[in-house]
Amino acid sequence: MSEWTGAGSRPDEAAGRVIPFPSRAEPPQVAFQRDELRVIFNLYGRQVAGGEWRDYALDFRRDKAVFSIYRRASEMPLYRIEKDPKLARRQGAYAVIAASGQVLKRGTDLARVLAVLEPGPRAV
């Protein structure tokens, strides 16, 4: 082993070893919590019982979690319920987005945001 001279190199570099710098930990994956899923599935169950919706998909990404709602499995989603923690302080972490891409409602309270998807009263 060579002796370290202190002339701009570290002892480990002189020995031919590479010391990796500590890397930043990757941010955790965004997901819906149990109580959030309960609120979403309550609405979903009522709409399935009414024959409006038939299928759903969950997508968990690094930056957001998405619950997509379908009328048929082979279609584009009718609605997307998104949770984006980066928007929590500005516009609210939750959003309901239509198939056209239009944001129907955004806010901090999931139940209030999902109220836009509740069916209105029907005439009998």
Domain ranges in the chain? 34-117
Q: What is the pTM of this model?
A: 0.73
The answer, yes or no, to whether residue 102 has pLDDT greater than 80, is yes
Quick: pLDDT tens for 34-83. Answer: 999 999 999 999 999 988 899 999 999 899 999 999 987 677 899 999 99
The answer, yes or no, to whether residue 12 has pLDDT greater than 60, is no
**pLDDT value, residue 16:** 64
Determine phi and psi for 35, rounding to 5 degrees.
Answer: -70, -30
**pLDDT value, residue 29:** 84
**Which of 46, 36, 47, 71 has the alpha carbon at shortest distance from 57?**
71
Band of pLDDT at residue 110, cut at 50, 70 and 90: very high
